[in-house]
Amino acid sequence: MIVGTLQMRLAIREAQSLKDKRRVVKSLQDRIRHHFNASVAEVGQQDLHQGSIVGVAVVCPETRTAHSVLSKILDLVRSHPTARLIDFDLEV
């Protein structure tokens, strides 16, 4: 059993309030859960309306699979129209 984790720092420039930010983060979390069956949570910067830290965890049978899934999640986040990926930390 291999556990992979991904921590992403996001900028949400268009958010004018925490409600705006949470709408974007919730949408992103739902897309990740639906497409990749991964555990996702906002793990930092909950009180900032233009920033967020999102954590993702996956359990896979092989290291290669974990890397592949987390890379695809990064691609999904990079293509998001509102959230911009600032930095990430990927560990398997």
CB proximity list for 20: less than 8 A, separation 6 or greater: 12, 14, 49
Reported as a single tens digit per residue, the pLDDT across 35-90 is 998 999 998 877 788 889 999 999 999 999 999 999 999 999 999 888 899 999 99
Total-model pTM: 0.87
Instruction: Tell me the average pLDDT across 2-9.
Output: 94
Split at pLDDT 50, 70, 90, the class of 34 is: very high
Q: What domains sit in the chain, N to C, each tagged with a CATH number?
A: 2-91 (3.30.70.1120)
Q: Are 55 and 40 in contact (CB under 8 A)?
A: yes
